Amino acid sequence: MPPWTTKLLFLLSFTLVHLAAADPISQRTTNSSNNHIYILLNASTWTDAEAEAVALGGHLATIRNQAEEDWIFHTFGSYDNTQRLLWIGLSDRDRKSHFTWSSGESVSYTAWAPGEPNNVGSGEDYAAIFYPNHSQRNKWNDWDNRTSDPIGLPMNGVVEIIPPPPILAANKTTAGTLATTGKPATSNATGTAGIQPNLVPVEITPAVTITNVQGAVQLYWPISAAGYTLEATTNLAQPFTMFGYSEATNTALGIITVTITNPGDQMFFRLHKP
């Protein structure tokens, strides 16, 4: 094959890949109910959409309740007068038959269509919301890694970006631990006395921010402390121990984030360097 032919084929292939990129097609839109930022991406596979979401500082959307489900569906399901299936961050690509959120949050809410997911562990690893004109609109189905559905409608990723909370109060602790409860903390045995009501975020050593958000607990610490392990206890008379959680790394902000969606009535956290 002549050299110029090879070059032409290469350029054609490159153009096709570029056209399939998961670029944003909507403006950043804030959901006033949770103050999270959402962006609709161009049609793409789930994996390309998740990669673009991470590059933008978030993940494909985590859905925690019916209100978030409805807002995403009504905002993006027929965006620009086009029926769309919406990729969300739920998949079992890492562990078959075990769906998890790409954000690392625990799964506390689902909205599968009847009989779904019907191909768990056999290739359909990614969840999307059905389009408005579908008989199961606003319900979820599991799909393979595709850019459109069988009738040609686009599969568009919905990015969710959670802005870091402002630090409203900062109290150093003698032991580097903090108690967080369902109610505003007032004191604990490690020296964080006098935390005032409504000033929930507290900075501890190493520099961790802990804040209660809609019944969940979010923890942030700098990437420079990536070698540390998060531990917890519900009673300071008992030792701190490791527990199940997933980390999300935001390189743009330089932080590691953990969200615990089912915290106990009282939990003490610390970062421990093994």
Domain extent listing, the chain: 20-161, 177-272
DSSP 261: S
Plot region of 139 (φ>0 → left; ψ -120 to 50 → alpha; else → beta)? beta
Stated pTM of the model: 0.57
Per-residue pLDDT at 225: 78
- Asked if omega into 117 is within 30° of 0 (cis), the reply is yes
Sign of the dihedral defined by the CA atoms of residues 124, 24, 85, 71, in that order:
positive
* Segment 78-108, tens digit of pLDDT: 999 999 999 999 998 878 778 999 998 888 8
CATH assignment of 20-161? 3.10.100.10
Residues of the chain where predicted confidence (pLDDT) is lower than 70 = 1-20, 120-122, 165-215
Nearest CA among 87, 75, 76, 88 for reference residue 32: 75
Structure tokens at 220: 């942030």
Alpha helices in the chain (DSSP H): 3-19, 46-55, 66-76
Q: Are 43 and 147 in contact (CB under 8 A)?
A: yes
Alpha carbon distance 169, 267 (integer Å):
19
Per-residue pLDDT at 122: 62
What CA–CA distances, in Å, run from 214 to 206, 211, 260?
A: 25, 10, 11
DSSP string, 215-247: TEEEEEEEGGGTT-EEEEES-TTS--EE-----
Per-residue pLDDT at 20: 53
